[in-house]
Amino acid sequence: GQQLNQSPQSMFIQEGEDVSMNCTSSSIFNTWLWYKQDPGEGPVLLIALYKAGELTSNGRLTAQFGITRKDSFLNISASIPSDVGIYFCAGQTSGSRLTFGEGTQLTVNP
C-alpha cells in the first residue's frame, strides 16, 4: 500500500519551545490530517487540510498541505507539558482510505 514517511520519530523539548514535524510521500493525497494520541487513548483529530497549499491554524497548532500534494507539516508553538503524546499524519486519496505515518513521539520537559 501507500506509505508515509513521518519525521522525526521522537522529540525531546523544553516547555516553551516550538516544534515542527512533517510527512512526505511518493503518492499524491487529496486530504492531509493530523492527529494526536494520548497514552491509552484513540487518536484525536487536530487539523484537517483539504487543498494543496492550504495553511490552517488551530490555537498553537499550524499545519500546511504541500503544493505538490505529497507532503505536510505540523508546527506547535510555545509547547506546554500537555502537548506530550504521539502525533500522526494521515493522507487520504479518493475512496476514503487513510494512510498513516509512523508517528512522532513528543516529550515536553517542564
Q: Is 13 in the site for another protein (CB under 8 A)?
A: no
Does residue 33 bind another protein (CB under 8 A)?
A: yes
- Binds another protein (CB under 8 A): choice among 40, 59, 82, 110: 40
Report how far residue 86's alpha carbon sits from residue 32's, in angstroms, rounded to the nearest whole number. Answer: 17
Write down the least CB distance from residue 50 to another protein, Å: 6
The 8-class DSSP code of residue 82 comes to: G
If one asks whether residue 25 binds another protein (CB under 8 A), the answer comes out as no
Contact between 50 and another protein by CB under 8 A: the answer reads yes
Identity of the amino acid at 8: P
Please check whether residue 1 is in contact with residue 92, taking contact to mean a CB–CB distance below 8 angstroms. no
The CA distance from 106 to 77, in Å, is 13
Cβ–Cβ under 8 Å, residues 37 and 102: no
Q: Does 64 bind another protein (CB under 8 A)?
A: no
Footprint of another protein (CB under 8 A): 1, 6, 9, 30-31, 33, 35, 40-45, 48, 50, 88, 90, 92, 94-103
